[in-house]
Amino acid sequence: MNPDLALLKPYPFERLAKLLEGASPPDDRPLLRLSIGEPQHAPPAIVLTALRNNLDLLAKYPTTRGDLALREAQASWMCRRHGLQSLDPDSEVLPVNGTREALFAIAQACVGQGSKTLVGSPNPFYQIYEGAALLAGARCVFLNTVEAKGFLPDPDALSRAEWEAMELLYLCTPGNPAGAVMDTALLQRFIHKAIEHNVVLVSDECYSEIYPDESAPPTGLLAACTAMGLDDFQNCISMHSLSKRSNLPGLRSGFAAGDKRILAEFLRYRGYHGSAMPPHHQLASTVAWSDEEHVRENRDRYREKFAAVGDILAPVLSLNDPGGGFYLWPTVPLDDESFTRRLYDETGVLVLPGSYLSHEVAGLNPGSGRVRMALVAELSDCIDAAQRIAAFVRGL
């Protein structure tokens, strides 16, 4: 067996299941899960129709590069959404089976094994970043994202030696779990560092289409490249997904875009990896990336939930103000594990301890004392959960 498998930490939901062993939530009310970021809104009807009407394509092998029509739809969406002057669908876009698969695979393609090789990540972080680094034979270096700095990573938090040893750095904007959005200036600081030290910069932007202000969508890594005249997107890869944008987590559909030199090698790796998207998924994805009406409706529903839940919880908890995504990241009046277990046991509401999403770095675990709440359920369930949480906190 690969000895590096022993380095993998238990996934947050494994730890959560262990934490809840022996707990007995009330049986007179439904269990409400705010712990996992799985969208519960209905998938777009136009996408379901495209899937049903093209099941005969299962008789064909898909190509790893993906159909040209899909790549053109993804490139066009990026240009419209992020103001890019151009994006070549033949060399600067690559369909992937959801960002989770691609975020893991990119490290296997880009990171050379060596005891001193580093992969960077924000802290807290999506656990795939760490697992990908460890199984690529690298070590992780973490950038704490704390409230005093707007929950944003700081490129100067890494030493010159760390930058020199690093081969890949993950960013996440809007961030998971705090929803903080990196602006153009901050993204460009990371780009300058990445080019100076020849680091591959991978921006996980899967939450980019859920945001509170319709007139101020979050920017992205490739838009920051364009703003500084870096039209070849040197060292930069942006990843997008239909899971959150279009409520299609089961479709496993997204794309990577950016530096064509990196994507050419990533395609070579993926050809051996065997990760081609099924043909009918490709066609349905083309439909999804070509439509914005369902995405705007999706944002409206999240805004309604954030407003309703915020009114209930703000008097009892210190809430963050996320610039994107569907999470709340409040501080809680107990340690985050005790809060989570007692809340579940006494009210039947399930959240995720913040410390399960981060590591202690420089004497600080930035998730400690916080919980993550995913507002993915229907509005009535989110309101019910918020009311139970508020009553629980008042009773402490």
**Interval 73-91: pLDDT, tens:** 999 999 999 999 999 999 9
Q: Distance of CA 91 to CAs 75, 97, 237, Å?
A: 10, 18, 12
Is the Cβ–Cβ distance between 155 and 200 less than 8 Å?
no
Cα–Cα dist 366/146, whole Å: 6
pLDDT score for 309: 98
Would you state the torsion angle of the CA atoms of residues 131, 135, 139, 143, taken in this order, to the nearest 10 degrees?
-20
Q: Do the beta carbons of residue 16 and residue 353 sit within 8 Å?
A: yes
**Alpha helices (H) along 206-328:** 221-227, 242-245, 260-273, 279-289, 293-313
pLDDT at 270 over 80: yes
Is 70 exceeded by the pLDDT of residue 115?
A: no
Tell me the average pLDDT across 158-174.
Answer: 97
- Residue 218 · residue 238 · CB < 8 Å: no
Q: Are 74 and 95 in contact (CB under 8 A)?
A: yes
Taking a C-beta distance cutoff of 8 angstroms, is the pair 80, 297 a contact? no
- Residue closest to 173 by CA, chosen among 34, 39, 371, 325: 325
Give 274's pLDDT tier (boundaries 50, 70, 90): confident
- CA contacts within 13 A on the Cβ side of 382: 26
- Across 369-396, average pLDDT: 97
Query: Pairing state of beta strands 236-241 and 139-144?
Result: unpaired
* CA 280 – CA 67 distance, rounded (Å): 11
d(CA 207, CA 114): 33
Predicted pLDDT of residue 116: 79
pLDDT of amino acid 84: 97
Burial class for 265, CB neighbours closer than 10 Å (0-12, 13-18, 19+): middle
Q: Convert the pLDDT of each residue in 125-134 to its tens digit.
A: 999 999 999 9
Query: Quick one: pLDDT band at residue 112, thresholds 50, 70, 90?
Result: confident
**Residue pLDDT, tens place only, 300-317:** 999 999 999 999 999 999
Q: Whole-number mean pLDDT of the chain?
A: 96
- Amino acid identity of 113? Q
CA distances from 260 to 217, 237, 310 (A): 26, 9, 43
Contact of 343 with 389, CB cutoff 8 Å: yes
In what helix (H) or strand (E) does residue 140 lie, and over which residues does it extend? strand 139-144
Q: Is the per-residue pLDDT at 113 higher than 80? A: no
With CA atoms as reference, report the closest residue to 290 among 46, 123, 126, 91.
Answer: 46
Tell me the percentage of the chain whose pLDDT exceeds 70.
100
pLDDT at 217: 98
Partner residues linked to 119 by β-bridges: 140, 168
Residue 393 has pLDDT above 90, yes or no: yes
What is the rounded CA–CA span in Å between residue 299 and residue 213? 9
pLDDT in tens, 311-348: 999 999 999 999 999 999 999 999 999 999 999 999 99
Counting Cα atoms < 13 Å in the Cβ hemisphere of 63 gives 9
Look up the pTM and report it: 0.96
pLDDT digits (tens, 9 = 90+) for 177-226: 999 999 999 999 999 999 999 999 999 999 999 999 999 999 999 999 99
Q: In the prediction, which pLDDT does 291 show?
A: 98
Token pair recorded at residue 20 = 């809840």
Domains and CATH numbers, the chain: 3-42+294-395 (3.90.1150.10), 54-291 (3.40.640.10)
